[in-house]
Structure 1
Amino acid sequence: MNWSDIGDALFGGAAHYGEILALVQNSVWAGLVLGLVGGLIGVFIMQRDMAFAVHGISELSFAGAAAALLFGFDVVTGSILGSLTAAALIGLLGARARDRNSIIGVLMPFGLGLGILFLSLYNGRSANRFSLLTGQIVSVQNAQLGWLIVLSAIVLVALLLIWRPLRFDSLDPQSAAARGVPTLAVSFGFMLLLGVIVAVAVHITGALLVLALLVTPAAAAMRVSTGPLAVPLLSAAFGVAAAVGGILLAIMGTLPVSPYITTISFLIYVVCRIVGARRDRTTRD
């Protein structure tokens, strides 16, 4: 093979990749939006110690999506209904951390079992069943993209509106209540927003790997910064890098998108943990 052949192969591969990228541009936009909003809301998930709740909500979101798939309804609507049901139950019954963890521990196996039951009764394409667990963003259609963007925008706007009281309640709930912050309303509202964004995330990473976009970016950001502005910005940047980077890598291969997203997210966390450890060691010295 001469240099001309190598050049033709490289440019031909680039052109082929460009054609594929044009076909999945909806997926890239969906990943960018979710990475941004997921990274921002993930800061409060970490501050409120609710990583376990994300997993619990995702299981009922999976059950709702599986039910919609079985009965021929819109899968996004089914996943949102499942997420909101779980979020409302956790928000109403789990005011204290101990109660919340107990409720989540009950909801998780119930939602997973119910979802598996619905999928076992579904006689359609096996790819549809698999995507609910591991994600299938490469098949996002225009209508689905519109819904995902609208839902993410609603969550983002609502999150910005309650940002100050939510941050106060997340860092010091006793003082927030004493200062007149409606902590119950703020907490319940946050749970509903979390339910919506979890439902959106399930369609990208799947129910089993949703933590990669809603928890890991924020956890990484908190390892390298403590600033009230720097942490959300870093978390959003990490979420976008993981989501969009995973999609761009996935279209070059044959693997589902979720392993790429979770790997990038994990590597970002490892790097941030190393950087944070070195900074702490330097500060002590």
Structure 2
Amino acid sequence: QALPHLEHLNLAHNHLAAGTVLSTPGLGPLPRVTSLDLSGNSLYSGLVERLLGEAPALRALSLAQNSLTRLGRRTFWGTPALERLDLHSNVLMDIEDGAFEALPHLAHLNLSRNSLTCISDFSLQQLRVLDLSCNSIEAFQTAPDPQAEYQLAWLDLRENKLLHFPDLASLPRLLYLNMSNNLIRLPTGLAQGGEGIHAPSEGWSALPFSNPSGNASGHALSQLLNLDLSYNEIELVPEGFLEPLTSLRFLNLSRNCLRAFVGLRAGFLPCLVHLDVSHNALATLALGTRALGSLRTLLLQDNALQDLPPYT
């Protein structure tokens, strides 16, 4: 009310959780504020709603470095225009179903450095960037909706506890995928014809890039440019696992347990320019004469190779 034209407000690293502002109507109406930084204020769950109040024009909100443990359905009801939300470095363990339903324009969500253990029924179709790094996530699944049109282009799942590669067939617009520093093992084989065998845990796919519709021209993740699977427990990349990634330019498989890397089929990873399979246990490298036709950088240091293909 006193600052009717205020558009940007930075209250980071204060002591709002201990102040009287929470016993009053919070910050009061914020009719024109588009960016608000409340990071580092020791805020805990239940206080955010009172502090925010009505902020109908707010597009960017930082609640990073606080003490939030859960997000409820009403947490963001006062911020319907929100596009960017930063929640990194809290202690979030629970996100209530529908917590983000009041945010139809949310495009960028940072949930890194929290205590999340599972992402099930992911359904934020409008989201473009999702950072889930540095949690304790063991499973990531999208909601089972065949009509969903997910816009997600950037997904960071590094430094979690994933045991298997998630089924990402419903995320066809993904460009960047980081799953380094997990516990991932890939299935040891595929049936003839490229059909995936199921991994031990329900909801995980042996061939996560396959197109459920069977349309060869519409493979899931055919737009993916960057895939990082370094620092996992991968011993073998199954035949057919990477073949749908026809746009991939950067592939990092370093610091796994790889014993062999095979790409014999013509047109295998046709756009790949950078391949890192260093720091593994590679004894076999088998590449077809027409595979990896765009490759510029090949990192093979610290392996067990004794021979290379003559045309390498």
* TM-score (normalizing by structure 2): 0.19
Higher relative contact order, structure no. (Cα contacts within 8 Å, ≥ 6 residues apart):
1
Please identify the structure whose Cα radius of gyration is greater.
2
TM-score by length of 1: 0.20
Q: Which has the higher strand share?
A: 2
Of Structure 1 and Structure 2, the greater helix share is in 1
